[in-house]
Amino acid sequence: MASDALIELDHISHYYGARRKQFLAVQDVHLKICEGEFVALLGPSGCGKSTLLRIVAGLTAPSEGRVLYRGQPLRGINPHATIVFQTFALFPWLTVLENVEVVLRARHVPEKLAKPRALDLLDKVGLDGFETAYPRELSGGMRQKVGFARAMAVSPELLCLDEPFSALDVLSAEALRTELIGLWTGGGLPTKAILLVTHNIEEAVYMADRIVIMEKDPGRVIADFGVGLRRPRFRKGTAFLETVDRVYTTMAGQTQPEHVELGAAPGEGRLRLLPEVHINDIEGLMEYLVKLPGPHMDIYRLTDELKLDSDHMLLLTEAAELLGFATIAQGDMTLTPLGETFAEAGVAARKAIFALRVRRLPLIRWLLDKLREAELQQIPWSDIKAELEHEILAEEIERQMQIAVDWGRYGELLAYDDGKEMFYLEPAGAPAA
Ligand code: ADP
Ligand code: MG
């Protein structure tokens, strides 16, 4: 078994940032990819997917843990792995063919061999006839195909794809997925294993043999399971949808006890960050759910029907749960009585419910407590920032405070003056709960 492993990440952790403000991007990841496996790495933005790819490719050395390639410790760049990025930089002054040849030449493939090899690769990705075209003449999908051909030119054993379809339009993305699957299952690739990073759940279920799910804050693996679906796969098939459901269930999480669910206030322990969601979206979701005939709604179907992307949906789910408006179980979202009440209420009642729920969230509670104790019940942004700097990354502070203000304003708990850069307590925020 061990000899089968192409790459093994052995208890990898990775920190970013300078010594005193280190940020744990990836925590204790153990991942083994064997020959013949197509693995999808799935998770919300910021959970460390790209970081792991960079570690696999040897572009980043992990802060902790070991990387083994075919059992040998990896030092420096991994010569057996190649990454295809979301947008692949082609040389605009070179033709399609030359763009592939240039990679082969860099690898010292003799000119006589380079051309037929490049032509063959372009043929494989479905670009024959476009050899003499320039990148600007190609659609996004075709440019990405040149990217694939280029990645393949170096015959990587391990092909790493970092959201390779997410910059493409829907049709080109689907065509390219099918083509890649065809190449992979047809044995037309020199590649022994593929590691696909995506935050598109359906894409992962459609393509991979195995799905590894990550969660953020800190980035870590929370699930790793095989996809037992035969190919070709049909997106509307029952087994397909069941697998998608399972992934959603894992990603949305079950409702946990409140102290775990809400996290701690700054200075008191593990801070739970607020999901970046607008009130309007929460309102919209609740209004939609309350009009449905049944009590449960499949999150996957919901995402589809509301035309949301899965990232956004996960944030919304998290917010709905945090607020106690919905519960998540077995991939279904169910409105709680509170959520129902909220959805059916008028503006003033909604604000009241919202205020009540939001003030229990540790970060907002902390902010309200501070404002209550402050002189004139106001605090400058710089003071809040200084306090939070021990807890969260600088750019995250700004975002968290924006959410807190957005939510606090709606609940009429607090306000913020942009010009004066000052937080204020609002009347509804004044009385202790
Ligand atoms: P993903 O690809 O899943 O969106 P990344 O691996 O890009 O996640 O990032 C994981 C976390 O690490 C994010 O919070 C991101 O902001 C942070 N991060 C990524 N690269 C750097 C960097 N060079 N310096 C500081 N923080 C970084
Ligand atoms: Mg990324």
Signed CA dihedral, 362, 364, 370, 373: sign only: negative
Domains in the chain, number: 3
pLDDT at 256: 52
State the average pLDDT over residues 36-60: 92
Distance 181 CA to ligand 2 centre (A): 22
Question: Which ligand is nearest the CA of 46, by number?
Answer: 1
> Which residues form ligand 1's pocket by a CB distance below 6 Å?
16-17, 23, 25, 43, 45-51, 219
Q: Read off the CATH number of the domain in which 79 is found.
A: 3.40.50.300
pLDDT at 334: 86
pLDDT at 107: 83
pLDDT at 338: 78
Residue nearest to atom 14 of ligand 1 (CA): 46
Distance from C-alpha of 316 to C-alpha of 285, rounded to nearest angstrom = 8
What are 20-38's pLDDT values in tens digits? 788 999 999 999 999 999 9
Distance 253 CA to ligand 2 centre (A): 22
Distance 25 CA to ligand 1 centre (A): 6
At residue 413, does pLDDT exceed 60? yes
At residue 255, does pLDDT exceed 90? no
The answer to the question of residue 388 being in a domain is yes
Mean pLDDT, the chain, rounded, equals 87
Same domain, 294 and 236: no
pLDDT at 1: 41
Distance 392 CA to ligand 1 centre (A): 14
Same domain, 100 and 201: yes
Q: Read off the CATH number of the domain in which 279 is found.
A: 1.10.10.10
What are 121-142's pLDDT values in tens digits? 898 888 999 999 999 999 888 8
State the average pLDDT over residues 115-120: 92
Beta bridge partners of 333: 297, 328
At residue 426, does pLDDT exceed 60? yes
Both structure tokens of 95: 């033709």
- Nearest CA among 213, 350, 190, 218 for reference residue 282: 350
Distance 219 CA to ligand 2 centre (A): 12
The answer to the question of residue 125 being in a domain is yes
The answer to the question of residue 264 being in a domain is no
**Full domain range(s) for residue 421:** 361-429
Say what percent of the chain tops pLDDT 90.
49
Ligand 1 mutation pick, 16, 199, 311, max ligand atoms within 8 A of CB: 16
Among 64-78, 231-245, 409-423, which is the least confidently predicted range?
Answer: 231-245
The answer to the question of residue 260 being in a domain is no
Query: Cα-flanking dihedrals φ and ψ of residue 92, to 5°?
Result: -70, -25
Residue with more model confidence, 298 or 338: 298
Same domain, 172 and 206: yes
Residue nearest to atom 26 of ligand 1 (CA): 16
Residue with more model confidence, 13 or 179: 13
Match 């990603």 to its residue by tokens. 251
pLDDT at 433: 40
State the average pLDDT over residues 38-49: 88
At residue 356, does pLDDT exceed 90? no
Last residue of a domain, one of 352, 371, 396: 352
Same domain, 244 and 317: no
Same domain, 329 and 418: no
Distance 417 CA to ligand 2 centre (A): 34
pLDDT at 172: 79
Residue nearest to atom 17 of ligand 1 (CA): 25
Match 């800190």 to its residue by tokens. 218
Burial environment of residue 313 by CB neighbours within 10 A (0 to 12, 13 to 18, 19 or more) = buried
Residue nearest to atom 15 of ligand 1 (CA): 46
At residue 215, does pLDDT exceed 50? yes
Considering 241-255, 368-382, 387-401, the range whose residues carry the highest mean pLDDT is 368-382
pLDDT at 431: 57
Distance 23 CA to ligand 1 centre (A): 9
Ligand 1 mutation pick, 19, 21, 27, 51, max ligand atoms within 8 A of CB: 51
What is the torsion angle, in degrees rounded to the nearest 10, for the CA atoms of residue 157, residue 175, residue 97 and residue 80? -10
Contact 277, 315 (CB under 8 A): yes
The answer to the question of residue 259 being in a domain is no
Kindly state the helix (H) or strand (E) to which residue 55 belongs, with its residue range: helix 49-56
Residue nearest to atom 27 of ligand 1 (CA): 16
Among 298-302, 401-405, 415-419, which is the least confidently predicted range?
Answer: 298-302
Which atom belonging to ligand 1 lies closest to the Cα atom of 17?
A: 25
Which atom belonging to ligand 1 lies closest to the Cα atom of 163?
A: 2
State the average pLDDT over residues 176-187: 88
pLDDT at 345: 81
Both structure tokens of 268: 């008191």
Q: DSSP of 110-162, one letter per residue?
A: -HHHHHHHHHHHHHHTT-TT-TT--GGGS-HHHHHHHHHHHHHHT--SEEEEE
State the average pLDDT over residues 380-384: 95
Same domain, 135 and 246: yes
Question: Which ligand is nearest the CA of 51, by number?
Answer: 1
Confidence of residue 340 (pLDDT cuts 50, 70, 90): confident
pLDDT at 141: 85
Distance from C-alpha of 231 to C-alpha of 228, rounded to nearest angstrom = 10
Beta bridge partners of 210: 39, 226
